[in-house]
Amino acid sequence: MLEEIRQQPEALARTLASEMKRIEKFKALMDRRKPRMVVLAARGTSDNAAQFGRYLIEITTGIPVSLAAPSVQTVYGAKLNYKDALVVAISQSGESTDINVVLEQARKAGAVTVGITNEAGSAMAKLAEHVFLVRAGREKSVAATKTYSGQLMMFYLLAWALGAKLRMEDLENIPALAQTALSLEMEVTALAERYRFMNHAVVVGRGLNYANAFEFALKMMETSYVIAERFSAADFLHGPIAIVEPDFPAFLFAPSGPTWKSMEEMLLRLRGLKAETVAITDRRNPGVAKLATRVISIPERIPELFTAIPYIIPAQLFAAALAAEKGLDPDKPRTLAKITRTL
């Protein structure tokens, strides 16, 4: 897991460079045939990436985005109208049975279909009209890390193809930001020791980092068996905050920008409850240090739009380090397999 976390800057740069020609051709198609809506279909870590894709595409293009509920088709047999829709399936392996069913039926129902996967020879790659590869190399760890960040990178490219005003130089800078985030490995490893006996936690994010709240919590559940609940800052106030008591561990993604006001209010509220808060941020938002118990700060100034990839890396490092502190092997989580097939 650690090895693959460290491979992310190179994998991100390779994904960006290798997929540009395909995405440029796809952009030309989208310019002629702009979809009225986008539907994203995924499970697990890929579903967390899809959550990011939903926010990114809606914020930057104005096109409505829906997250598919595969059982609507695979269990209930419903026939959906995909006319003028773009349906995007996301899967590390490309072998998620129910996601591929959604993709196949959407194509038959008139959608333009896209597959985002790490496996060129997968079933998904054969089903989708347009295939974009996450060039992460083989991912051996059950806990996905480099494929998650690669999927986020592909969503930046997909948003650009759909009309988002994204500058290529900003996207080309993301691998460097990932490398800077990796420089925190020793600091994060030392921090994890403090949480050796943690068995429950909450992770809070909002907007473009809402997906990271889900992904960080999932990584702690997969590798350390911590009961980690995940919430948006808004939803957390609608009841779940009642579980917080003194020293309760809460992890927060706290960039500057549109979501900061609500995250600042959340940190103040948690401080009043004497919770143990750990905030992931960057140099653009120094106010976090006054409010959080512990701060993981990436030593760069990062616009919120580009925080998702560099912010998840310290979270991945923390999950791997926490597993080691607990005497667990993050590469062999109990009862899990790399490919999960469901209908």
CATH code (residue 279): 3.40.50.10490
pLDDT of 249 reads 97
Same domain for 266 and 139? no
Distance separating alpha carbons of residues 26 and 136, to the nearest angstrom: 21
pLDDT of 342 reads 66
Same domain for 130 and 270? no
pLDDT of 319 reads 97
Same domain for 147 and 266? no
The answer to whether residue 218 is domain-embedded is yes
pLDDT of 264 reads 96
Same domain for 199 and 316? yes
pLDDT along the chain (343 residues), means of 10: 97 97 97 96 96 98 96 92 96 93 94 96 96 93 94 98 97 98 98 97 97 98 96 90 95 97 96 97 95 97 98 98 95 66 64
Q: Which of 141, 167, 193 is the last residue of a domain?
A: 167
Same domain for 120 and 198? no
pLDDT of 340 reads 61
Edge-to-edge order in the sheet of strand 112-117: 65-67, 37-41, 85-91, 112-117, 130-133
The answer to whether residue 79 is domain-embedded is yes
> How many separate domains does the chain show?
2
The answer to whether residue 57 is domain-embedded is yes
Same domain for 183 and 141? no
Q: Which of 121, 143, 167 is the last residue of a domain?
A: 167
What would the two tokens of residue 282 be? 């960057």
Same domain for 47 and 93? yes
Distance separating alpha carbons of residues 16 and 154, to the nearest angstrom: 8
Its pTM stands at 0.95
Same domain for 129 and 183? no
pLDDT of 337 reads 60
pLDDT of 139 reads 87
Same domain for 108 and 229? no
Same domain for 206 and 239? yes
The answer to whether residue 119 is domain-embedded is yes
Domain containing 180 equals 176-325
Same domain for 133 and 203? no
Same domain for 24 and 116? yes
pLDDT of 187 reads 98
The answer to whether residue 331 is domain-embedded is no
The answer to whether residue 337 is domain-embedded is no
The answer to whether residue 139 is domain-embedded is yes
Do the Cβ atoms of 262 and 206 come closer than 8 Å? yes
The answer to whether residue 336 is domain-embedded is no
What would the two tokens of residue 335 be? 């009862």
Q: Which of 147, 167, 187 is the last residue of a domain?
A: 167
pLDDT of 338 reads 52
